[in-house]
Amino acid sequence: MTDSYLLAGRFGAATRLSPKALRLYAEQGLLLPVRIDPQTGYRYYASSQAPRARLIARLRRLDLPIARIAQLLDLTPQARVVELQSWLGAQNDRLAEQIELVRALSRQTEGGDTALAAAISLREIPAGKVISRQRQVGVQTLDDFIAEAETDIRAHLRATGLADGGLMSVHFHDLVSRDSEGLVEVAVAFEGSLEPAGDLLIRLQPARREVYLPVPKAYEDFPLVMHVYDALEGWLDARSDISCIGSPRETYPGTRGARFDVAYPISQ
């Protein structure tokens, strides 16, 4: 072997990769030895492989999975930086959400947000008809889905000669987070006779009672809006005479000057 080839041990020392890591990356096809001695089983690497090995080591320090690293290695350096910056933004968003979750637990331990809790009220909602659209969405696409669905629904109402100014509600039938999509329904109340069209559905909302909280302006955006959900859930947990019987919803416009309310259906 010439000096341009290094045994796995020396190559690993030069690139700060352990023998275990080198074996793993070879098995995954990320960094293959240029030669394996058939007699001794010794693995040899070319010195020209060092930049790739060091890049893999740096990417692994970011706790990226092997499959993701394999994708990044195939990109140009410029494209790789763009992808990593996007990934870092998502990591920062996730960290902000985790910080809010820890703060929520702290608030619950300390008795909750008293200002929000003081604004919680009960109300009776009469039965009515709604036209709606449902879709599996995550936090990243939620706002776009709501805006698109509302626009299409109100346009359909106008096209059929019905008033289009009914209350809009967004129903969260499943958990929606940065890590998982959930079933979300955008519904607009209407009066009159109407046929469904495409993926727009018509249904009757039964009369119900709900606990609600107008969302202060400072809490309108995610993740701060979760303070409002936490306040309502803490209020429900503390009431032995009231049971939550369904998924939460947001109603637009809200009451008391709020852009929207958050509400949970209840039985009492």
Structure confidence at residue 111 (pLDDT): 57
Tell me the pLDDT band of 109, cut-offs 50, 70 and 90. low
Rounded (to 5) percent helix, strand, coil in the chain: 45, 25, 35
Does residue 215 register a pLDDT over 60? yes
From 25, 59, 74, the end of a domain falls on: 74
For residues 126 and 108, membership in a common domain is answered with no
Give me the mean pLDDT over the 114-140 stretch: 93
Domain that holds residue 64: 5-74
Lowest average pLDDT, out of 66-80, 89-103, 235-249, goes to: 89-103
For residues 175 and 226, membership in a common domain is answered with yes
Predicted confidence (pLDDT) per residue in 180-212, tens digit = 789 999 999 999 999 888 999 999 999 999 999
What burial class does residue 131 get, using C-beta atoms within 10 Å of its C-beta: 0-12 exposed, 13-18 middle, 19+ buried?
buried
Give me the mean pLDDT over the 87-104 stretch: 82
For residues 255 and 134, membership in a common domain is answered with yes
Lowest average pLDDT, out of 99-103, 167-171, 216-220, goes to: 99-103
For residues 259 and 190, membership in a common domain is answered with yes
CATH number, domain of 251, equals 3.20.80.10
For residues 196 and 98, membership in a common domain is answered with no
Tell me the pLDDT band of 217, cut-offs 50, 70 and 90. very high
Percentage above 70 pLDDT, the chain: 96
For residues 134 and 223, membership in a common domain is answered with yes
Does residue 239 register a pLDDT over 50? yes
Taking the whole predicted model, whether its pTM rises above 0.75 is answered as no
∠ Cα 176 125 153 (to 5°) = 55
246: closest CA among 214, 220, 208?
A: 208
Predicted confidence (pLDDT) per residue in 142-185, tens digit = 999 999 999 999 999 999 999 999 999 999 998 887 777 899 99
For residues 186 and 92, membership in a common domain is answered with no
Tell me the pLDDT band of 108, cut-offs 50, 70 and 90. low
Give me the mean pLDDT over the 42-70 stretch: 91
Does residue 1 register a pLDDT over 80? no
Chain mean pLDDT for the chain: 90
For residues 42 and 126, membership in a common domain is answered with no
How many Å is the Cα radius of gyration of the chain? Answer: 28
Contacts of 33 (CB under 8 A, 6+ apart): 8, 26, 43, 44, 45
Number of folded domains in the chain?
Answer: 3
For residues 235 and 122, membership in a common domain is answered with yes
Does residue 2 register a pLDDT over 60? no
Q: What are phi and psi of 73, to 5 degrees?
A: -65, -25
